[in-house]
Amino acid sequence: MKLAPPSRHLEVQLVADAYGNVASIHSRDCSVQRRHQKIVEEGPITAAPAETVKEMERCARALARAVGYVGAATVEYLYSLEDGGYYFLELNPRLQVSIAPSRSDPCASTVD
């Protein structure tokens, strides 16, 4: 096991169909947590360079294709601020939406 301080919890959200098409639809930083629950979700990711985020999204899409995934998913990574490396944590079979931005804002997009 390797300790990775300081680091960030970064996520890529995907949608995939039965024909092997996979799209990354959103990436975000979910590092602010309390008792393993996300408190703040920042998007787009600013803790990593844009090229690294693109590579993380590419790897997430490749993972979904490799396992024949169909549907919505969230791929989680641990991103090391020290060396710029990112490490796969898990693939969740759903979009993770902790708190809707605002039910009263007609421009806010939410997933119920």
Residues designated catalytic: 94
Question: Is there a contact between 49 and 84 (Cβ–Cβ < 8 Å)?
Answer: yes
Terminal C-alpha separation, the chain: 37
Give the Cα separation of 8 and 29 in Å (integer).
7
